[in-house]
């Protein structure tokens, strides 16, 4: 049976837990907050859109889509201001030429998560009596009493996402496993009931299904007024911009081997190397190098010395993500040009790379090793290595010797 373990993270957005991997999909600090702070803000999109009107984003490990959703929300909300300044009546804007071309490719092996993504609520004031539905001490310990909603993801983004998923993956209507989760009362509080109604409406159209057909009557129903406003907004943005969402449900390595796209931004959000080493190897990063624009950026939440070393060995300039608000470094950024790295690695970070902790994960040339083999090979390399341990390095570094 499909296992689904949602809970509310500290910013009110829904996070997931994986019992098989005993790992979290999202930070308990806030699933949506993490997307903004580790992927969207460091991408410096304001600067990018000063000189571009096309963007290609690769969202590796799409999951329930936070990184793509946060991008769409950020982009459309900021873009909307520019449009409003141009002309308040959207119908009079000439749209033969779209303002922007946005291409997002999401890769994710778990189809159900992608299908569920538009329905997941993004911000909620949490009542902590509303405890998690499963036992996990670590998560329970990290959950705070009060919600700290920092960023939002508006309903129109979920509507856009739903329309795009239906378009690229119409088999969503026949996926019983996904629908069973959506309808399960146990998960009701995590899903947006209005979006489910909209989905049911689309589904009810069956073969006659068209995105606009019968919609007006449906939207006129007062109960759906909230959806109606968001729907209009979603349509407006889609009218003004070309948005293509491509989804691939294969292993990211397989998907990328068949891909000829060059991306401006790559979001790498795989489980930690201990769980999913195949997406953190030098060989995989070399493949990413082939798919990154010369001015492009790869962003990831990982601070690991082995990951930073693998980026360097794959030919990238590598730095870290600085969060002004928290005055913290939180993740890694890789680029083909040094000038695109705003915060470089410190002597300490570089020192760590030269310890056992910096030993990289390796795949074979075909990128076909399974996770267990990659882990075993890595363990063996660490055991046989003559490099100093990270703890010894840290001690020496701190003592200033």
Ligand X SMILES: C[S@@+](CC[C@H](N)C(=O)[O-])C[C@H]1O[C@@H](n2cnc3c(N)ncnc32)[C@H](O)[C@@H]1O
Q: How far is the CB of 117 from ligand X (least distance, A)?
A: 7
Supply the DSSP symbol for 315. T
Q: How far is the CB of 211 from ligand X (least distance, A)?
A: 25
On the 0-12 / 13-18 / 19+ scale of CB atoms within 10 A, 400 is exposed
On the 0-12 / 13-18 / 19+ scale of CB atoms within 10 A, 379 is exposed
Tell whether residue 181 is a contact of ligand X (CB under 6 A): no
- Give whichever of 298 and 353 is closer to ligand X, judged by the CB atom: 298
Q: Contacts with ligand X in 219-258 (CB under 6 A)?
A: 251-252
CA dist 288 and 257 (Å) reads: 10
Stretch that binds ligand X, among 62-70, 149-157, 230-238, 330-338 (CB under 6 A): 62-70
Which position among 4, 17, 41, 66 is part of the footprint of ligand X (CB under 6 A)?
66
Partners of 341 in the β-ladder:
none
On the 0-12 / 13-18 / 19+ scale of CB atoms within 10 A, 216 is exposed
**Residue 310 · residue 282 · CB < 8 Å:** yes
Identify the CA nearest to 172 among candidates 247, 68, 105: 247
Interface with ligand X: number of residues (CB under 6 A)? 21
Stretch that binds ligand X, among 130-138, 218-226, 267-275, 393-401 (CB under 6 A): 267-275
Tell whether residue 109 is a contact of ligand X (CB under 6 A): yes
Tell whether residue 61 is a contact of ligand X (CB under 6 A): yes
Tell whether residue 307 is a contact of ligand X (CB under 6 A): no
Tell whether residue 270 is a contact of ligand X (CB under 6 A): yes
CA dist 11 and 123 (Å) reads: 7
Tell whether residue 118 is a contact of ligand X (CB under 6 A): no
Tell whether residue 37 is a contact of ligand X (CB under 6 A): no
Stretch that binds ligand X, among 43-51, 92-100, 127-135, 273-281 (CB under 6 A): 273-281
Q: For the residues of 200-239, what is the DSSP string, one character each?
A: HHHHHTGGG--SSTTHHHHHHSGGGHHHHHHHHHHHHHHH
**What b/e readout covers 81-112, taking b as 16+ CB neighbours within 10 angstroms?**
eebeeeeeebeeeeeeeebbebbbbbbbbbbb
Tell whether residue 63 is a contact of ligand X (CB under 6 A): yes
Tell whether residue 64 is a contact of ligand X (CB under 6 A): yes
Tell whether residue 108 is a contact of ligand X (CB under 6 A): yes
Tell whether residue 116 is a contact of ligand X (CB under 6 A): no
Q: How far is the CB of 162 from ligand X (least distance, A)?
A: 16
- Give whichever of 227 and 287 is closer to ligand X, judged by the CB atom: 287
Stretch that binds ligand X, among 74-82, 263-271, 291-299, 332-340 (CB under 6 A): 263-271
Residue with tokens 């509303």: 130
Contacts with ligand X, residue ranges (CB under 6 A): 25, 61-67, 107-110, 113, 251-252, 269-271, 276, 278-279
């Amino acid at each position: 049976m499909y296992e689904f373990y949602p809970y509310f993270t500290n910013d009110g957005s829904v996070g997931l837990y994986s019992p098989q991997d005993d790992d979290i999909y999202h930070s308990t600090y806030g699933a949506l907050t993490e997307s903004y702070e580790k992927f969207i803000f460091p991408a410096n999109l304001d600067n990018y859109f000063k000189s571009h009107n096309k963007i290609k984003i690769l969202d590796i490990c799409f999951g329930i889509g936070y990184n793509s959703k946060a991008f769409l929300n950020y982009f459309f909300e900021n873009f909307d201001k520019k449009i409003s300044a141009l002309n308040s009546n959207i119908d009079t804007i000439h749209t033969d030429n779209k303002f922007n071309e946005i291409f997002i490719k999401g890769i994710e092996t778990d189809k159900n998560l992608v299908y569920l993504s538009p329905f997941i609520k993004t911000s909620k004031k949490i009542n902590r009596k509303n405890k998690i539905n499963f036992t996990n001490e670590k998560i329970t310990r990290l959950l705070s009493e009060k919600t700290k909603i920092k960023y939002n993801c508006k309903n129109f983004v979920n509507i856009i996402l739903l329309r795009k998923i239906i378009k690229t993956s119409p088999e969503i209507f026949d996926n019983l496993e996904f629908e069973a989760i959506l309808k399960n009362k146990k998960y009701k509080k995590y899903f947006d009931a209005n979006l489910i109604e909209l989905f049911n409406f689309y589904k009810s159209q069956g073969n006659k299904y068209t995105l606009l057909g019968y919609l007006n009557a449906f939207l006129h129903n007062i109960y759906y007024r909230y959806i109606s406003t968001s729907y209009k907004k979603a349509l407006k943005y889609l009218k003004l911009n070309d948005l293509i969402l491509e989804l691939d449900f294969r292993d990211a390595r397989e998907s990328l081997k068949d891909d000829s796209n060059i991306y401006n931004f790559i979001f790498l959000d795989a489980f930690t190397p201990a769980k999913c080493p195949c997406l953190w190897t030098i060989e995989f990063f070399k493949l990413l190098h082939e798919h990154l624009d010369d001015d492009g950026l790869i962003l990831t939440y990982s601070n690991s010395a082995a990951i930073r070393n693998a980026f360097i060995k794959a030919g990238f300039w590598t730095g870290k993500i600085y969060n002004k608000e928290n005055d913290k470094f939180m993740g890694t950024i890789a680029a083909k040009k040094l000038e695109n790295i705003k915060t470089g690695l410190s002597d300490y970070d570089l020192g760590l790379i030269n310890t056992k902790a910096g030993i990289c994960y390796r795949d074979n040339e075909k990128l076909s090793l399974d996770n267990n083999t990659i882990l075993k090979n890595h363990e063996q390399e660490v055991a046989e290595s003559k490099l100093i341990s990270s703890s010894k390095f840290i001690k020496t570094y701190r003592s200033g010797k």
